[in-house]
């Protein structure tokens, strides 16, 4: 009750600040800082409420952002949301370092067959299913031209974008629930590796789409550009990983500040050279974990800073969901989301069954591949810039599907981890039941 009262007071104070003139909304002003403080506390409390109902806390963060965002009560205006986006780089960098640090070579070698089978079937089944769905649903997509080749190009872009997932949400749920086990390991490994492969495959699909659509913007080969960016990102990730290992080994002071500084500096460098920052930090975490003895120290340092960063990151993600766009495209977006869910289940089930995985992987792992965010949005942005005639409509629809998957995905993955018995709560419950004495005769 005290939390609710304090939260209500903070709400009225923050709401009153909206009527004061602080200057241009494009500037980082006291209103944005006050909103940051409010959303941090409000989302944290909401996450606690969601946890009481066995829902993931990040769903509470996202819902708080939606309610407080520019499309509901406008406590977080578009200008404030834009100001707070500066924290996205820090959050994504920490999440990517954690993802790379959780990828262990020993586990990858042991599970390589399963990982490859599931990734292969996921990519093929989801890509084929969503592409076919777009072709069949052509009457519901008024922005498509009469050209059959352009329709095929649009469908191919939808198909490859649907394959991408969100490492950020996966890591956040695993961190929140302290999950461990075969489903957790399989989902994490597949999510990280698959998104790297999707970026490469996207280059080929984009090149094909260009030739099919015959857009006047065809320029430098997308394949060459993406391969160069991926290779440079991998190399830069190795460099950052080696620098981190050297710092821990020879200095090892104020590790948290070093990691935060590394993320901001690395992100700025990535933007400057147009590299994939997420891929870069994943490689850095992977190097520290597998080629030094400091992997656990890196993960523990990140965990000390992760909670407030995750709270703000997912709250701002919720505030950024464009509700008017979601309403306008609700029908076709719902169809695409449903087809993606079905094909994700089928691809995961087929891959894990052929690999001989345990039943819990076949039943529950697919729920970890639902959420979409940064990678999908980045691919949609590239399509928008490449095809000015239909690209903006494509991105609008992709944003709507991302919003729906962002709401559904975390809840589904939490359910999967609970049912597979891999969350800390379920492990403790199982241990407690095992320690109870057997009933007497």
Instruction: Write down the pLDDT at residue 434.
Output: 63
DSSP conformation class of 421: T
Domain assignment present for 381: yes
Q: CA-to-CA distance for 183 and 181, rounded, in angstroms?
A: 6
279 and 339 within one domain: yes
Q: Is residue 321 domain-shared with residue 238, that is, in the same domain?
A: yes
String of b and e for 229-250 (b: at least 16 CB within 10 Å)?
Answer: bbebbbebbbebbebbbebbee
Which has the closest alpha carbon to 96: 255, 247, 309? 309
Q: How confident is the model at residue 36 (pLDDT cuts 50, 70, 90)?
A: confident
Checking if the pLDDT of 128 tops 90, the result is yes
Are residue 321 and residue 352 in the same domain, yes or no?
A: yes
**412, two tokens:** 């589904």
328-367: per-residue pLDDT in tens? 778 888 999 999 999 999 999 999 999 988 999 999 999 9
Split at pLDDT 50, 70, 90, the class of 167 is confident
The count of structural domains within the chain is 2
The tokens for 282 are 């994943």
pLDDT at position 88, please?
75
Same domain flag for 216 and 246? yes
Boundary-marking domain end, from 43, 59, 84: 84
* 350 found inside a domain: yes
Count Cβ neighbours within 10 Å for each residue of 75-85 and write b for 16 or more, e otherwise.
bbbebbbebbe
Looking at the structure, tell me whether residues 393 and 311 fall in a common domain.
Answer: yes
Tell me the backbone φ, ψ of residue 387, rounded to 5 degrees.
Answer: -120, 85
| 307-312-314-315 Cα dihedral, nearest 10 degrees | 130
Higher local confidence (pLDDT), 327 or 434: 327
Whether residue 314 lies inside any domain: the answer is: yes
- What value does the mean pLDDT take over residues 52-65? 82
pLDDT at 343: 95
Is residue 242 over pLDDT 90?
yes
Query: Does 108 share its domain with 40?
Result: no
Q: What is the CATH number of the domain that holds 155?
A: 1.20.1530.20
> Which letter, b or e, does each residue of 173-183 get, where b requires 16 or more Cβ atoms within 10 Å of its Cβ?
bbbbbebebbb
Highest mean pLDDT among 316-325, 332-341, 383-392: 332-341
**78 and 225 belong to one structural domain:** no
Task: Pick 332 or 382 by higher pLDDT.
Answer: 332
Mean pLDDT of 39-68: 82
- Digit-coded pLDDT (tens) for 273-320: 877 787 788 889 889 988 888 888 888 888 777 778 878 888 887 887
Cβ atoms of residues 215 and 153 within 8 Å = no
Structural domain that includes position 69: 2-18+28-84
What number is the average pLDDT over the span 132-147?
Answer: 80
Which of 38, 58, 84 terminates a domain? The answer is: 84
Other Cβ atoms within 10 Å of 396 Cβ, number: 18
Identify whether residues 262 and 297 lie together within a single domain: yes
Both tokens assigned to 415:
């359910």
Most confident stretch, 8-22, 153-167, 331-345, 397-411: 331-345
Alpha helices in 164-254 (DSSP H): 167-177, 182-213, 222-250
Q: What is the DSSP letter of 366?
A: G
Quick check: 17 pLDDT over 60?
Answer: no
In a domain, 97, yes or no: yes
Burial class of residue 356 (count of CB atoms within 10 Å of its CB; 0-12, 13-18, 19+): exposed
430 within some domain? no
Q: Name 387's Cβ contacts closer than 8 Å, sequence gap at least 6.
A: 153, 209, 213, 215, 217, 394
Q: Is residue 197 part of a domain?
A: yes
Question: What are the pLDDT digits (tens) for 193-228?
Answer: 887 788 777 777 877 777 776 554 444 455 566 677
**The two structure tokens encoding residue 88:** 């996205």
- pTM, whole model, 2 decimals? 0.75
- Average confidence (pLDDT) over 413-421: 90
Q: Do 229 and 329 belong to one domain?
A: yes
Residue 76 DSSP one-character state: S
Start-to-end C-alpha separation, the chain: 47
What stretches of 18-29 show up as alpha helix (H) in DSSP?
none
Q: Mean of the per-residue pLDDT values for the chain?
A: 80
248 versus 54: which is more confidently predicted? 248
Give the span between the Cα atoms of 252 and 274, in whole angstroms: 31
For residues 418 and 319, state if they share a domain. yes
Tell me the average pLDDT across 366-381: 79
Predicted confidence at residue 217, as pLDDT, reads 47
Same domain, 60 and 111: no
* Residue 332 sits in the same domain as residue 300: yes
Query: Which is more confident, 124 or 222?
Result: 124
Q: What is the pLDDT of residue 22?
A: 46
Q: 429 in a domain, yes or no?
A: no
Check residue 219 and give its pLDDT. 46
User: Is 431 a domain residue?
Assistant: no
Residue that wins the pLDDT comparison between 104 and 357: 357
């Amino acid at each position: 009750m005290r939390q609710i009262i304090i939260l209500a007071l903070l709400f009225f104070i923050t709401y009153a600040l909206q009527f004061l003139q602080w200057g241009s909304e494009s500037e980082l002003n006291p209103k944005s800082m006050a909103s940051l403080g409010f959303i941090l506390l409000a989302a944290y409390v909401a996450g606690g409420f969601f946890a009481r109902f066995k829902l993931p806390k990040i769903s509470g963060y996202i819902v708080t952002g939606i309610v407080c965002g520019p499309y509901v009560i406008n406590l977080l205006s578009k200008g404030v949301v834009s100001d707070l986006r500066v924290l996205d780089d820090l959050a994504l960098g920490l999440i990517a370092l954690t993802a790379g640090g959780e990828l262990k070579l020993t586990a990858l070698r042991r599970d390589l067959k399963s990982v490859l089978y599931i990734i292969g079937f996921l990519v093929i089944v989801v890509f084929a299913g969503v592409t076919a769905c777009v072709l069949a649903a052509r009457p519901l997509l008024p922005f498509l031209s009469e050209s059959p080749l352009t329709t095929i190009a649009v469908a191919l872009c939808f198909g490859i974008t649907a394959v991408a997932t969100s490492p950020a949400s996966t890591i956040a749920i695993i961190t929140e629930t302290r999950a461990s086990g075969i489903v957790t390991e399989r989902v994490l490994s597949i999510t990280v590796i698959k998104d790297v492969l999707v970026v490469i495959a996207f280059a080929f699909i984009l090149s094909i789409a260009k030739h099919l659509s015959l857009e006047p913007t065809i320029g430098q080969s997308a394949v060459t550009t993406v391969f160069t960016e991926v290779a440079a990102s991998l190399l830069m990730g190795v460099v950052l990983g080696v620098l981190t290992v050297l710092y821990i080994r020879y200095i090892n002071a104020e590790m948290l500040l070093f990691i935060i500084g590394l993320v901001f500096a690395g992100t700025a460098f990535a933007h400057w050279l147009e590299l994939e920052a997420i891929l870069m930090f994943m490689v850095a975490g992977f190097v520290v974990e597998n080629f030094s003895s400091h992997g656990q120290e890196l993960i523990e340092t990140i965990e000390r800073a992760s909670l407030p960063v995750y709270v703000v990151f997912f709250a701002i993600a919720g505030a950024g969901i464009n509700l008017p766009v979601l309403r306008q495209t609700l029908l076709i977006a719902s169809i695409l989301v449903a087809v993606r869910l079905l094909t994700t289940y089928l691809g995961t089930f087929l891959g894990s069954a052929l690999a001989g995985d345990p039943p819990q992987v076949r039943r529950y792992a697919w729920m970890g591949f639902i959420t979409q965010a940064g990678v999908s949005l980045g691919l949609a942005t590239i399509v928008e810039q490449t095809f000015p005639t239909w690209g903006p409509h494509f991105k609008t629809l992709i944003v709507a599907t991302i919003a729906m998957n962002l709401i559904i995905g975390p809840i589904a993955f939490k359910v999967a981890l609970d049912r597979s018995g891999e969350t800390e709560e379920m492990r403790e419950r199982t241990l407690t039941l095992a320690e109870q004495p057997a009933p007497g005769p």
